[in-house]
Structure 1
Amino acid sequence: MRHALVSTLALILSVTLAWGFETEAERHFGPENAPRIRVLGTTDLAFFSPVAEAFLAENPGLGIEYLQASSQSVSLAVDAEGAPFDLVISTAMDLQMKLANDGFARALPPDIVQRLPGWARWRDRLVSIALEPVVLLIAQSALNGQPPPRSRRDLIALLRDHPETFAGRIGTYDPRISGAGYLFLTQDARMSDSIWRLAEVMGRLDARLYCCSGEVIEGLIAGDLVVGYNVLGSYAAANLPEGSGVLVVPMEDFTITLQRTALIPVNAADPDGGAALLRFILSDVGQDIQAQVTGGSVMRPESFTSQPWLMPIRLDPGLLSTLDTMTRDRFLAEWTAALDQP
């Protein structure tokens, strides 16, 4: 028995080490011995857990195994590693599009695809499950009684006019290490050339670069930062404590709106289970749960009626152009040059 136990542990260890991607968190939902739907995603466990628990309440004979990883690791897991997941969810729309375009996603059931508008699906391989506005965070104390900036032009003027307030206290994504940060910047540049002027101003003020929205939010809560640019609104809603003094500001010239997307890999062991979970996420119940836990927008027309400045990043092949190595290197070189100001 001892020999068998050692052998089993060795096998588990060898399988774990066989994968080249890194995970950030893992959780098993449901009965221990129930058949499990395996999900890989960038979504924080705090956001995914209520959805998983509600789904299993309707499907008590099932379980869910959820692995959380960075967007780059999620793409690596499906592409290079061929890890057998039943549903893959990510905020990196461009990387998800590449997986679908390169043949790593299977066709989704028609009832899932047809319920979504054209900009929220790509063929029958990739669909959006939620909208994620990308917002500005600013400490009220840094405004000195002024109204918060509502456009990039306003933000540029505010930073230029008060360098003593903002120097060393601006945080944003580092697009060289963050897939989401790179996507947001390329979309910024598509919408307006104001991002280059903003980068120059932030560079002069020694902006700090981070891997993720969570670190920027932590810096604001601690008081090390007073501005966070291009932060996911859902993370701000979930992590800013009441009375933090940090304002969440959608930019009314345009608010880039990420689509959190999902696909079922071609090598899924339980594609029907993955489809069932995806169908639940897109149901009224699933959408209401997402809205409650993230404070963000869902896949409904009223999101745009009440917030006309939302500009969803479309699911189309144009996303792939920014992943070209030469295009990416050129863009990052321009960004670094703009940010590297004396």
Structure 2
Amino acid sequence: MRYLVTLILCLFASGAGAQDWEDRQIFNESADGPRLRVISSTDTALFAPLIEDFVAQNPAISVEYLVTGTADIDRRVRATPEAFDVVVSSAMDLQLKLANDGYALALNDLPHPPWAQWHQSLFAFTSEPATIVVNRTAFEGQPMPQTRQELIEALRARPDDFRGKVGTYDVRQSGLGYLFATQDARASETYWRLMEVLGGLDVRLYCCSGDMINDLADGTIAVAYNVLGSYAAVRTEGKDALQIILPSDFQTTMMRTAMVTGKSRLPEEAETFVRHLTTLNPESMAALPLLDTQDSTTESAAIALDPALLTFLDTLKRRKFLSAWESAAIQK
């Protein structure tokens, strides 16, 4: 029986390695010790400095870093939780549901402020806002919008200039996009007016922030709404034509979270990795191009890591929200 279980796990690992990923990299491949499998929604280029810092401090451990979308992370972890040791995602609601449904291992002796963790199973380690990113050339000679209402007015004033030139997440596919959209809608009715305006301008829909920024940079679109701040800051560096706007009416800020899977093959090493994320030193952060790390002494103004996050994951509420979103954003 033990041989059969081992054979099944080996076959599974072989099949898992053949899966399609947005990116897959191995750090410290020559290490003689165990290999952690980390599934994450964060682009490797953004996260690599942190992993490199981790393996430098833990030279016996290698890390297989697997990148996919937030919604896909949820599906894969639920289907094969034993395939992964650590889960890192920007979709706080999906992460909280995974933890709440028993897919996370409790780390009872990991010190972390109450507002930045859930039942010692899910731990926030960065705070990152949703932003508006614009191509400055589209607003030349015009006031730069600083609120959602001002953006609505700017788009309505020149519809021919912005038709087909605005972008946002396809919230039907993007877990982070859905989180931002539901939180925006809870905060203000302005969100729905903005979606109707974007829909009337034939909004382009995206899976992720990186693709939106690419299209902004080459002029395919002029405005991108709800771009993740960490990506915007890195990808717009050196691109004078692009400007990041933090809306002054209200900000939607998510916390990137990590968990050790309940069926991790390497729970001790996985816990060491999560501890590393939650105790980053200034030297590590200097090399990590994400935005603010959590301050263990100050409560974050980000979306709360609490049961309210689960509201829009209810099947009926999600269906109702997506129906309203499609009516506003897809006007065909």
Same fold (TM over 0.5): yes
- 1:6-25 matches, cutoff 5 A: 15-17=13-15, 22-25=20-23
Whether the 8 Å contact between 2:131 and 2:245 is mirrored in structure 1 is yes
User: Cα distance, 1:61 vs. partner?
Assistant: 2.0
Partners of 1:146 and 1:301 in 2: CA distance: 42
Aligned residue in 2 for 1:274: 270
**Following the alignment from structure 1 to structure 2, what is the Cα–Cα distance between the partners of residues 145 and 300?**
40
Aligned equivalents of 1:127 and 1:297: distance in 2?
A: 15
Using the TM superposition, give the Cα deviation of residue 340 of structure 1 relative to its aligned residue in structure 2, in angstroms.
3.6
CA contact (8 A) 1:42 1:89 kept: yes
SS in 2 for 1:294: coil
C-alpha separation between the residues in 2 aligned to 1:39 and 1:49? 12
Residues 1:327 and 2:324 are matched in the alignment: no
Measured in 2, the distance between the counterparts of 1:151 and 1:88 equals 34
SS of residue in 1 equivalent to 2:82: coil
Q: Is the 8 A contact 1:84 1:265 kept in 2?
A: no
Q: Give the equivalent residue in structure 2 for 1:85.
A: 84
Distance in 2, matches of 1:115 and 1:142, equals 44
**Conservation of the 8 A alpha-carbon contact between 2:164 and 2:203:** yes
Given residue 94 of structure 1, which amino acid in structure 2 is its aligned partner?
Answer: D
Post-superposition Cα deviations, 1:313-336, rounded to whole Å, max 9, x if no partner, equal 111111112111111111011111
* Matching of residue 115 in structure 1 with residue 105 in structure 2: no
Q: Which residues in structure 2 correspond to 1:161-180 (within 5 Å)?
A: 161-180=157-176
2:156 to 142, 157, 160: 160
| In 2: Cα distance, 1:64 partner to 1:20 partner | 17
Q: Structure 1 residue 243: deviation in Å?
A: 3.1
Matches within 5 A, 1:35-46: 35-46=34-45
1:29 to 15, 27, 30: 27
Shift of 1:241: 4.5
Equivalent pair of 1:20/1:81 in contact (CA under 8 Å): no
Code of the aligned partner of 1:28: I
User: Is 1:96–2:95 an aligned residue pair?
Assistant: yes
- Residue identity matched to 2:173: I
Report the count of equivalent residues. 324
**Is 1:41–1:66's contact at 8 Å kept on the other side of the alignment?**
yes
Separation of aligned partners in 2, 1:315 and 1:302: 16
What is the alpha-carbon distance in structure 2 between the residues aligned to residue 160 and residue 288 of structure 1? 46
* Alpha-carbon contact 1:39-1:85 (below 8 Å) kept: yes
CA distance in structure 2 between the aligned counterparts of 1:280 and 1:295, rounded to whole angstroms: 15
Query: 2: distance between equivalents of 1:302 and 1:34?
Result: 35
Query: Do the aligned residues in 2 keep the contact of 1:259 with 1:312 (CA within 8 Å)?
Result: yes
CA change 1:58–1:32 in 2 (3 A) is closer
Give the structure 2 partner of residue 312 of structure 1. 302
Q: Deviations over 1:169-195 (max 9, x none)?
A: 001000111111111100000110101
Provide the secondary structure at the position in 1 that maps to 2:313: coil
Kindly indicate whether the alpha-carbon contact (under 8 Å) linking 1:254 and 1:311 is maintained by their aligned counterparts in 2. Answer: no
Tell me the amino acid that sits aligned with residue 112 of structure 2. Answer: R
Higher mean C-alpha displacement, 326-335 vs 310-319: 310-319
Q: Which amino acid aligns with 1:132?
A: E
Q: Does 1:299 align with 2:297?
A: no
Conserved? CA contact 2:50–2:288, under 8 Å: no
- Counterparts in 2 of 1:243 and 1:321: CA distance versus 1, 3 Å: closer
Question: C-alpha separation between the residues in 2 aligned to 1:153 and 1:251?
Answer: 10
Q: What is the letter of the counterpart of residue 240 of structure 1?
A: T
Shift of 1:86: 2.0
Corresponding residue for residue 8 of structure 1: none
Gap change, CA 1:303 and 1:209, over 3 Å in 2: farther
Q: Deviations over 1:105-163 (max 9, x none)?
A: 111142x3x332x3321111111011111100011111123342111111111111121
What is the Cα deviation at residue 32 of structure 1?
Answer: 4.3
Cα distance, 1:288 vs structure 2: 5.4
| Residues 164 and 202, structure 2, Cα contact 8 Å, conserved in 1 | yes
Distance 2:75 2:183 in 1: 23
Q: Please provide the CA RMSD for this pair.
A: 2.4
Q: Which stretch of the first structure deviates more once superposed, 12-21 or 53-62?
A: 12-21
Question: For residue 266 of structure 1, what is the amino acid of its counterpart?
Answer: G
Q: Which residue of 2 aligns with 1:124?
A: 120
Instruction: Report the CA distance shift for 1:311/1:283 in structure 2 as closer, same or farther (over 3 A).
Output: closer
Aligned amino acid, residue 297 of structure 1: D
| CA 183–20 in structure 1, closer or farther in 2 if over 3 Å, else same | farther
C-alpha spacing 1:291/1:121, structure 2 compared with 1 (3 Å):
farther
Shift in Å at residue 19 of structure 1? 8.4
Give TM-score scaled by structure 1 length: 0.88
Aligned-pair distance for 1:83? Answer: 3.1
Instruction: Give the % identical residues.
Output: 40
Question: Where do 5+ consecutive residues of structure 2 fail to align?
Answer: 1-8
5+ unaligned residues in a row in structure 1: which ranges?
1-10, 305-309
